[in-house]
Amino acid sequence: MSTNQHSSSSSQSLAALPGLFSLRARAWAAWKRHRNERILENLSYDTLKDIGFPAVDDAVHKTEQ
């Protein structure tokens, strides 16, 4: 009887593993996104322009033709 209870509890803990791995993967991805956004925020306008990011105030920086 204790073997049956043991296998039941271990199968429940194994069932939770994919959820924990998913949570860990999502937390890791969110942390990486946050870190990358912080890095991009610290770059100068010229550097952002050089790597292809449009400026928020792009209309101000465009030359009139």
Range of 10's domain? 2-61
Distance (Å, whole) CA 34 – CA 37: 5
Mean pLDDT per 10-residue run, the chain (65 residues)?
Answer: 53 69 89 94 88 70 55
Residue 33 burial (CB count, 10 A) = 10
pLDDT at 1: 46
CB under 8 Å to 54, separation ≥6 — which residues? none
Distance (Å, whole) CA 26 – CA 32: 10
pLDDT at 34: 96
Domain total for the chain?
Answer: 1
Please tell me the pTM assigned to this model.
0.49
Give 65's DSSP letter.
Answer: -
